[in-house]
Amino acid sequence: MSPKPNRIKIKNNMKEQIFVTGIGTEIGKTVCSAILTQYLKADYWKPVQSGDLHATDSMRIYDLLQGDVRIHPERYKLQLAASPHKSALLENTSISLEDFKIPETTNNLVIEGAGGLFVPLSDTCYIIDLIQALTIPVALVIKDYLGCINHSLLSINAIKQRNIDLKYLIFNGGIDTDSERVISLQIPEHTQIIHIPQLETVTAEAVRKITDPFNS
C-alpha cells in the first residue's frame, strides 16, 4: 500500500468550482467533498439527492463542517433511494439538463454528483452530461477494491473523450502502489493527485485535522 498521509495538500488554492464524482457508488464522495469544501473554504451544492431525505448529503456536509459552510439547496430531492431517473419517474417528474444552473457565489464551490459518471438522470442524460453542460472541472474519487483499476480507467477515458477537465484525482483511503501507478499513467499531465487517508471514524474533528494545517 502507498503511504497514508495525515494531511492533504493542493498546489493551487485559487478561486475555483469543482464537480466531485466517482468511479462508482459508496466510495466516499461525500467525505471527500467535505474535505475539499473545508480546505477550499467553499460553498457546497448537491444538485440531485435521490433518497435518504432524512439524512441528505447536504446535511452530512453541514454536520462534518460544524455548520461553518454555505449549503445551496438541491435542485431535485427525490424520495426513493435509487438512480435519479427511476426516482423521478416514480414521482412523475422529469429531469432535464436545462433545469440546472450553478448557484451564484463569490466563494469557491464544491458540487457533488450522484454515484458515478453514467448514473442516469433521465433516459437520455447522465451525470457526465450534467458535468459537461456545466462546463466545470472534475475531481474523480477512487477507492481501492478489486476492479477499481478497470472502473478508474473507464471513467478517466470517458472524461477525456468529453474534453472535461480532470483537475483532481483523489485516492480515498489508501491505494495499492501498483494500482496507483497504472491508473496515474492515464491522467493528463496537469491533473493533481490527492491522497486522503483512511479515517477510522468520519467526524468533524477528523476532517479538520486533515485540512487545517494548510489553511493558515
Catalytic residues: 46
101 annotated to bind ligand: no
198 annotated to bind ligand: yes
Q: How many CB atoms lie within 10 A of CB 58?
A: 20
Q: DSSP assignment of 61-111, as one string?
A: HHHHTTT-SPEEPPSEEESSSS-HHHHHHHTT----GGG--PPP-SS-EEE
C-alpha dihedral sign at 117, 33, 49, 99:
negative
112 annotated to bind ligand: yes
113 annotated to bind ligand: yes
Give strand ranges (E) for the chain. 17-22, 43-45, 48-50, 71-72, 76-78, 109-116, 138-143, 166-172, 192-196
199 annotated to bind ligand: yes
197 annotated to bind ligand: yes
50 annotated to bind ligand: yes
Measured CA to CA, the distance from residue 104 to residue 179 in angstroms comes to: 39
38 annotated to bind ligand: no
Q: Detail the residues annotated as belonging to a binding site.
A: 26-31, 50, 57, 112-115, 197-199
Q: Detail the residues annotated as belonging to a binding site for Mg(2+).
A: 30, 57, 112
Q: Detail the residues annotated as belonging to a binding site for ATP.
A: 26-31, 57, 112-115, 197-199
Q: Detail the residues annotated as belonging to a binding site for substrate.
A: 50
